[in-house]
Amino acid sequence: MKKLLISSALVAGFLFVGCQQASTKQAKEVKVTGIREANLNADSQNLPELKLNTTQPVPGKVKAQPAAFSDAPPMIPHSVEGMVPITKNNNMCLNCHMPQAAKSMGVTAIPASHFEDNFKGGKKTSKLAGSRFNCTLCHAPQAMVDPVIENKFNSLKK
């Protein structure tokens, strides 16, 4: 019993001394930088300037960018000014992109998958599925900017 008590005291002593020495060591400074090659904790004086093309393309008059990846939601190639916010009772996108209207207008039609109600076992409907009314949850407007980092992505789709 005496040996157990002495060995326990020695172990506790070594742990105490080891922890004290570890806490007195200087922490190594790590330089964290972002794209702008400056300390992330520094002031925001040297942020890169994004040059935004302020000309707003008119719906039907501009070509869409290629999809970023297979089955990616297409980007919105035109201005959405006056079309958002989209609500269940006010969705301006449907005026042009419903399959019946899209063909005659020469624009991309809403795909058949958007007319299947996922909450009702994939039941096909003639109306847009309730879970698909807010287009901008998946589809984002294209922005004509000079990127901070060049994107060298090439789509596999041709």
Host H or E run for residue 13:
helix 2-24
Q: Is residue 34 part of a domain?
A: no
Domain count, the chain: 1
Helix or strand or coil: residue 115?
A: helix
Q: Is residue 37 part of a domain?
A: no
Q: Is residue 15 part of a domain?
A: no
Q: Is residue 99 part of a domain?
A: yes
CATH number of the domain encompassing residue 63: 1.10.1130.10
Q: Is residue 8 part of a domain?
A: no
Helix or strand or coil: residue 120?
A: helix
Q: Is residue 128 part of a domain?
A: yes
pLDDT, tens digit (0-9, with 9 covering 90-100), for 40-76? 655 666 555 655 555 667 777 777 777 777 788 888 8
Q: Is residue 24 part of a domain?
A: no
Within 10 angstroms of residue 134's Cβ, the number of other Cβ atoms is: 15
Average pLDDT over residues 77-99: 89
Q: What is the pTM of this model?
A: 0.57
Q: Is residue 96 part of a domain?
A: yes
Q: Which of 62, 64, 84 is nearest to 74 (CA)?
A: 64
> Which residue blocks in 26-158 are alpha helix, DSSP H?
93-97, 99-105
pLDDT, tens digit (0-9, with 9 covering 90-100), for 22-34? 555 566 676 666 6
Q: Domain range holding 119?
A: 46-143
How far apart CA 50 and CA 45 sit, in angstroms, is 14
